[in-house]
Amino acid sequence: MSNRKPIIAGNWKMNNTQAQAETLIKELIPLVKDAQAEVVVCAPYTALEKAVALTKGSNIAVGAQNIAWADSGAFTGEISAEMLAEIGVKYAIIGHSERRMMFGETDATVNARAKQAIAKGITAVICVGETLEERETNITESVLKIQITGAFAAIDAKDLNNVVIAYEPVWAIGTGKTATSAQAQETIKYVRSVMESLYGKAAADVRIQYGGSMNASNVDELMAQPDIDGGLIGGASLKAADFAKVVNYK
């Protein structure tokens, strides 16, 4: 039996002003107060400080949606790990498929960002996943192996407790195709096997989330899978009642 505590994180993406964030968090707090899973909300930069203040004393942690690879300097538009840690941010999503596809994120930049997060005590939520073309040409495993190996380059086994992996089947996002719970389990089990090849027994404690449209209707089935330790939730995290149903899965 695994000692891995499930972790359900809401990725708000580019949604929610400070006022909207306040409304959502105030609605969410009482709905998830008895959750067995760790609960995280990943807000836009402008709402992070307010989110941290509002969640104080609750069981909800706050995450950022990205983090810089440098301590400081001439990096217009970037936000450093120190800046995030200073306001109480505990998690940072790194290498999300949207960042990779739209904003040029690479395995090397994911690795550099993850190291910065870990150095400042912020848990890195490292995203990996294959596209529809990669899935259909049967190269899912080789793609994931390259992404994982690149993302974890020179990250020590002792730092794995500061890392969560989120597997996102990019092919199941907006394509009308969906991953079955069996497909999700099979691929996440493979992700864990790659981590085992890198870190040995220490990989057994790494939490791996599923990031492919987990919602109230499929969460129970997905979370029943032995290697799925939570979810990185997009659209279903934007309404308190919807997100609470996922967090409070059976």
Instruction: Count up the domains in the chain and report the number.
Output: 1
Domain of residue 195, residue span: 7-247
171 inside domain: yes
pTM of the predicted model, to two decimals? 0.96
Q: Is 91 inside any structural domain?
A: yes
Looking at 96, 98, 105, 130, which residue is catalytic? 96
Specify whether 105 is catalytic: no
- Other beta carbons within 10 angstroms of residue 136's beta carbon come to 12
> Do the domain assignments include residue 60?
yes
Q: Which helix (H) or strand (E) holds 54?
A: helix 45-55
Mean pLDDT of the region 108-134: 97
Mean pLDDT, rounded, for 163-171: 95
Is the pLDDT at 1 greater than 60? The verdict is no
The enclosing H or E element of 124 equals strand 123-128
Domain membership of residue 2 (yes or no) is: no
Q: Which of 38, 98, 105, 168 is catalytic?
A: 168
d(CA 183, CA 190): 11
Residue 124 counted as domain residue:
yes
Does residue 210 carry a pLDDT above 70?
A: yes
Pairing of strands 60-64, 38-42: parallel
Specify if 62 maps to a domain: yes
At 51, which CATH number? 3.20.20.70
Beta-ladder partners of 166:
127, 209
The answer to whether position 1 is within a domain reads no
